[in-house]
């Protein structure tokens, strides 16, 4: 069982190590990068709040506390946390299922904040238990399919706002069909604004990739709203956004909501941390430093808890905002602290300017943010490289579209676990021979007839870790192989691939030993890892096998087998 790791303040808070060594020469770059991150984070946070089905201020409230908390505890120098499409749609799905889609705004906000806190607590626990390796269980093809599915959900949920028609809260296919059926009723002014907004956020980066086009679009929306007064027409606007700082507090949810919030929090944590760790690892490589995956889990967990208690939604590391920080030459997490200050200034003095901004502008920003995640080229590559990867990706994709993000996430996890188990259970074995010219080199005999075998001794290598899912099949393969090798007196089993040993695998080894002895064959084990060997020792298997039957090298095992055969022949004489 994993041991709970409670680190010291110095190890738990990397800022304690790097801040005293901070060079003032970094400050200019961090200030510029912080302004750039804020210019991207503010409009996208507003948009992702709507994706989560929450009032837009929930997205803004998430940023200051999360950025500061993450900056204190993170091992990454560049990652910028905040709401993302993944956590937004997962959080929205949890809230929708909990409320049935008919809750008042106050309950939606409370549940959204509670999900953020629950997600954070799971991540903190995962970091303390040092289980960062679990994030590698879900394969890249499955993540690709899951992400494409989520992105399509986000885009279809924004289409009604682009057209100025009534949104549908139904499943993907019904939502898409409902939107298409309302196209003849589309609001012309909304469509025009939407087309112009999409042209800016998609076309702008082709002109200047690092320019904050989303911020420019928001400013244009503010100016246009003051001139056109869209609130007096049929154009949907953001509506009043409370001015001032958020009021920290515990979300007011009922006890009956707690189980769903906990399950939802775990789902949001699992879905979000993949994107966050991907960003941390990618830019650590580009920045030539290392990150601690467990510390990143812990830091992201603290950020989520801070966000939830500040009236904000779930957060994780964002690839797009992290790229903005990196390309703006940000050097440290001071970048995030500067961005947090910028958001606080907006909350204090500028929220009133946002109330009449057309809602369609946020839809354009959100769609442009998730568009790069539609990695259909990746799907095509999986189809050419490996059919199973392609099927896994499609299963995750359609699982999200047909059953929703929560069940889609569960399907993605089950696919990955099934894939790991299936691949691990596919046992192959090779007969080994001595490689000419090498003192202790042994390799597969297949396609290498020059490799020398030893009379009466078969050396068999198991090409996968031996564990509960494959141990019986391994025994069957070894026995079948021995049956086709008349004259065999001893079997040397190379178990170098096995670093752990469970009870089922132990019982299978005992069964193999018993079967071989029934036909007067001796068993020798070579190159077994120490941890697995300890299990054999403690269980009594080593004693049953006999002294001088387990060695660190194949050559020593073969010599012992030959000696045993010779001694047995002498006895029979």
* 325-362 pLDDT per residue, tens: 888 788 889 999 999 999 999 899 888 888 888 888 88
Q: Is the pTM of this model over 0.95?
A: no
Of the pLDDT bands very low, low, confident and very high (cuts 50, 70, 90), residue 20 is confident
**CA gap 93, 228 in Å, rounded:** 35
**Is pLDDT of 510 > 80?**
yes
**Is pLDDT of 6 > 50?**
no
Query: Quick one: average pLDDT of 297-314?
Result: 95
Beta bridge partners of residue 133, listed in sequence order: none
**Is pLDDT of 133 > 50?**
yes
Q: Which domains does the chain have, with CATH numbers?
A: 24-420 (no CATH), 429-572 (3.30.750.24)
Query: Quick one: average pLDDT of 40-68?
Result: 90
First to last CA, the chain: 54
Per-residue confidence (pLDDT) for residue 36, from 0 to 100: 85
Contacts of 473 (CB under 8 A, 6+ apart): 425, 427
**CA gap 321, 344 in Å, rounded:** 18
CB 119 within 8 A of CB 268: yes
**Is pLDDT of 208 > 80?**
yes
* CB neighbourhood size of 362 (10 A): 30
Query: Quick one: average pLDDT of 473-496?
Result: 91
Half-sphere exposure of residue 502: CA atoms within 13 angstroms, side-chain side: 9
**Is pLDDT of 186 > 50?**
yes
**Is pLDDT of 163 > 60?**
yes
């Amino acid at each position: 069982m994993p041991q709970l790791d409670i680190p010291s303040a110095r190890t738990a808070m990397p800022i304690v190590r790097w801040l005293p060594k901070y060079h003032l020469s970094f400050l200019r770059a961090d200030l510029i990068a912080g302004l750039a991150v804020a210019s991207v984070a503010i409009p996208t946070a507003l948009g992702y709040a709507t994706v989560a089905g929450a009032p837009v201020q929930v997205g803004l409230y998430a940023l200051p506390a999360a950025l500061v908390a993450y900056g204190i505890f993170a091992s990454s120098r560049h990652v910028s946390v905040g709401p993302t499409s993944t956590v937004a749609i997962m959080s929205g799905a949890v809230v929708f299922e909990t409320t049935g889609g008919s809750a008042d705004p106050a309950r939606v906000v409370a549940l959204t904040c509670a999900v953020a806190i629950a997600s954070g607590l799971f991540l903190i626990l995962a970091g303390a238990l040092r289980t960062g390796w679990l994030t590698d269980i879900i394969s890249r093809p499955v993540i690709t399919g899951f992400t494409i599915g989520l992105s399509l959900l986000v885009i279809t949920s924004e289409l009604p706002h682009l057209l100025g028609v009534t949104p549908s809260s139904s499943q993907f296919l019904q939502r898409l069909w409902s939107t298409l059926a309302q196209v003849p009723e589309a609001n012309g002014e909304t469509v025009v604004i939407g087309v112009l907004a999409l042209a800016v956020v998609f076309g702008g980066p082709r002109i200047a990739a690092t320019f904050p086009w989303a911020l420019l679009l928001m400013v244009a929306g503010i100016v246009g709203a003051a001139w056109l007064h869209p609130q007096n027409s049929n154009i949907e606007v953001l509506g009043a956004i409370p001015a001032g700082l958020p009021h920290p507090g515990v979300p007011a949810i009922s006890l009956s909501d707690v189980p769903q919030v906990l399950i939802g929090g775990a789902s949001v944590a699992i879905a979000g941390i993949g994107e966050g760790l991907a960003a941390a690892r990618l830019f650590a490589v580009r920045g030539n430093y290392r990150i601690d995956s467990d510390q990143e889990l812990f830091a992201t967990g603290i950020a989520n808890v801070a966000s939830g208690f500040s009236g904000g939604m779930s957060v994780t590391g964002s690839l797009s905002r992290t790229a903005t920080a990196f390309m703006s030459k940000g050097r440290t997490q001071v970048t995030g602290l500067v961005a947090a200050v910028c958001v606080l200034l907006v909350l204090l003095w500028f929220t009133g300017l946002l109330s009449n901004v057309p809602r369609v502008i946020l839809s354009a920003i959100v769609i442009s943010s998730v568009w790069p995640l539609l990695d259909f080229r990746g799907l095509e590559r999986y189809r050419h490289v490996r059919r199973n990867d392609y099927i896994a990706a499609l299963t995750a994709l359609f699982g999200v579209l047909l059953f929703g993000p929560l069940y889609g996430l569960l399907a993605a996890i089950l696919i990955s676990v099934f894939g790991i188990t299936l691949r691990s259970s596919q046992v192959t074995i090779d007969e080994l021979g001595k490689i000419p010219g090498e003192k202790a080199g042994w390799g597969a005999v297949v396609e290498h007839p020059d490799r020398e075998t030893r009379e009466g001794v078969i050396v068999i290598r198991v090409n996968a870790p031996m564990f509960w899912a494959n141990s019986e099949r391994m025994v069957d393969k070894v026995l079948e192989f021995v049956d086709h090798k008349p004259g065999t007196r001893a079997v040397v089993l190379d178990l170098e691939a096995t670093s752990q040993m469970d009870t089922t695998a132990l019982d299978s080894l005992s069964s193999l030993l018993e079967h071989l002895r029934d036909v007067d064959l001796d068993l020798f084990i070579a190159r077994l890892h120490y941890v697995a060997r300890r299990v054999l020792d403690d269980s009594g298997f080593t004693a049953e096998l006999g002294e001088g039957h387990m060695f660190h090298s194949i050559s020593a095992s073969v010599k012992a087998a030959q000696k045993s055969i010779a001694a047995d022949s002498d006895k029979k004489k």
